[in-house]
Amino acid sequence: MKELSPLQIERLKYQPKLPSSLSEGVNKLKFIQGENTKAIRDEEQIQKLFQNTYGKPIITFELTGEENVSAVKNVGVILSGGQAPGGHNVIAGLYDALKQANPNNKLYGFLGGPAGIIDGKYIEFSGELIDEYRNTGGFDIIGSGRTKLETQEQFEKSLEICKKLDISAVIIIGGDDSNTNAALLAEWLVENDTGIQVIGCPKTIDGDLKNDQIEISFGFDTATKTYAELIGNIQRDANSAKKYWHFIKIMGRSASHVALEAALQTQPNITLISEEVEERQMSLSDIINYMSDIISQRAAKGKNFGIAIVPEGLIEFIPEMKSMIANLNDLMGELEQDIDFNNATSSHEKFEIVQNRLKEVNSKVFESLPALIKAQLLMDRDPHGNVQVSRIDTEKLLIEMIKTRLKEMKSQGEYVGKFSELAHFFGYEGRCAFPSNFDADYCYSLGYNAFALINFGLTGYLSSIRNLTQSADKWIAGGTPLTMMMNMEKRHGEFKPVIQKALVKLDDSVFKKLENNREDWALNDKYKFPGAIQYFGPSSVCDLTTVTLQLESVKESPQ
């Protein structure tokens, strides 16, 4: 018998809230069809690749007085990609809706991510198992993985296991890459006349799976609140001891939504935003100068301490780095086959081979980096071809370069302070936290709604719950066609259909809020202390959504 903490015991009892349209179960729903949709870009190519699932209408559910009878439907679910708080509630919502529709329905969980459906590894969920995981963080109920589901052979194997278990729908809970997989699988299953449906659920702490229809991916709320709590605590410590500069790298593979949200909640001295660095074409030395100037201005006021937030994906947005990493990514495949590279006995030898094979301009950039960063850049890519930025110590790179710059400034009489630094990385600390009330409710609703989409025979849709800054009863449930979010992008050297990542927009109110305040926050200590996520207490604290969602829902310029 597992021992539970007092909070675990209390959270198991929490009853997540549902939109009022879903509150009477899935048998009393009707769906309203919007207009047919188009891909966000490259319409023609996407339409050609998704001939059966392209261009479907947006769906909204409404309550109806009539009761529909649901046929028996077995469903399989996959957790895909990085953990995000609330995944277990998606499964709980799905399970409850499925059993409510017809107690003979069965829910299967594929183990270890998409690999589970390919390898035929699964469990059947029971009510007891689901009850153990309600409102808990993590994906440990069935595990997750990053296998890319895209080949004919993988699809055939998936079909085989679905047939064996009499599964008529598969739910893929994942981010942009995983939902791209969902779209491909949905298309293949229709093309092959299998009758099996595929529905996606928008997951990722990164917050970059969003658009007009998907206001936010789940997990962003809890993860950012967790990081903001930790940053706030560090700010108090820094402001008490007044002796350290804390450099905090914040998770979020490409987009800086997580760093931006955490910064808006805590008001640190420096916040870098990768998208701004790219748009303003800031070189690494521009960034170092910007940060060193703030450090020096604070030192002139006697403040040899501060907080700097660094988004995890920064390195890929610095123009000279971006070009070098793209060149390196293309080279990685060749290097895997390269005898000299594979036989090299020291890192130094490997670096030399890489330098010789990169284009001259990129080679110089690579050469200028510390050995630690060079080695990290040469680590394996993930199955989708992404550099694993969570494993690159960008914050340490910045610290080393700032130290050199401050020395220079000191020698020229431009800096009078003392620089003692500490590096942190907040990522894994937030991905499996107990979901906030928002994420617990949102995820449960996403799962519940996913079954409603299945029940109406839909496929190639993302479960969508909108109007999220309102109370849960006013949330709008429905479905967004996956092809609507797609465009063509280069992956592993080839153009492929993918769901477009939503990056931070510099003309948006969320970034403007930082931009309008950052000078003040840099020199005057305006630290905010959000504290721990509250699960019980006033709704103004417990059910509060993120600053990002609030600002995006208002769409007017903030102060």
Q: Is the alpha carbon torsion for 21, 24, 27, 28 positive or negative?
A: negative
Comparing CB distances to ligand FBP, the nearer of 82 and 137 is: 82
Q: Which of 25, 116, 232, 252 binds ligand FBP (CB under 6 A)?
A: 252
The verdict on whether 525 is a catalytic residue reads: no
Of 175, 121, 187, nearest to 148 (Cα)?
A: 175
Q: Which of 115, 250, 389, 398 binds ligand FBP (CB under 6 A)?
A: 389
Q: How far is CA 535 from CA 16, 29, 76, 438, 529, in A?
A: 12, 31, 31, 10, 17
Shortest reach from residue 398's CB to ligand FBP, in Å: 18
Which of positions 393-432 make contact with ligand FBP (CB under 6 A)? 431
Alpha-carbon gap, residue 111 to 78, rounded angstroms: 7
Q: Phi first, then psi: give them for residue 531, nearest 5 degrees.
A: 70, -175
Alpha-carbon gap, residue 164 to 61, rounded angstroms: 32
Is residue 138 near ligand FBP by the rule CB under 6 A? no
Is residue 82 near ligand FBP by the rule CB under 6 A? yes
Comparing CB distances to ligand FBP, the nearer of 428 and 495 is: 428
Choices 69-77, 194-202, 249-257, 277-285 (CB under 6 A): range interacting with ligand FBP: 249-257
Q: Phi first, then psi: give them for residue 374, nearest 5 degrees.
A: -55, -50
With 0-12 CB in 10 A as exposed, 13-18 as middle and 19+ as buried, what is 538? exposed
Q: Which of 206, 261, 395, 421 binds ligand FBP (CB under 6 A)?
A: 206
Comparing CB distances to ligand FBP, the nearer of 177 and 276 is: 177
Is residue 187 near ligand FBP by the rule CB under 6 A? no
Pairing of β 306-311 and β 245-250: parallel
Angle at 112 between CA 108 and CA 113, to 5 degrees: 80
Shortest reach from residue 227's CB to ligand FBP, in Å: 11
Binding mask of the shown chain, residues 36 to 75, with x at each position contacting ligand FBP by CB under 6 A: ----------------------------------------
Q: Which of 117, 190, 251, 452 binds ligand FBP (CB under 6 A)?
A: 251
Q: Which residue has the tokens 């809020």?
A: 513
Comparing CB distances to ligand FBP, the nearer of 27 and 487 is: 487
Choices 39-47, 105-113, 245-253, 288-296 (CB under 6 A): range interacting with ligand FBP: 245-253
Is residue 312 near ligand FBP by the rule CB under 6 A? yes
- Active site residue: 177, 206, 208, 439, which one? 206
Is residue 200 near ligand FBP by the rule CB under 6 A? no
Choices 198-206, 228-236, 328-336, 442-450 (CB under 6 A): range interacting with ligand FBP: 198-206
Choices 123-131, 247-255, 453-461, 509-517 (CB under 6 A): range interacting with ligand FBP: 247-255
Alpha-carbon gap, residue 515 to 521, rounded angstroms: 10
Alpha-carbon gap, residue 387 to 277, rounded angstroms: 19
For residue 487, give the H/E element and its range. Answer: strand 486-491
**284 within 8 A of 509, measured Cβ to Cβ:** no
Alpha-carbon gap, residue 548 to 559, rounded angstroms: 14
Q: Which of 134, 225, 246, 253 binds ligand FBP (CB under 6 A)?
A: 253
Tokens encoding 3:
């021992």
Shortest reach from residue 281's CB to ligand FBP, in Å: 24
- Chain positions contacting ligand FBP, by CB under 6 A: 81-82, 84, 175, 204-206, 251-253, 312, 389-390, 431
| Catalytic residue set | 206
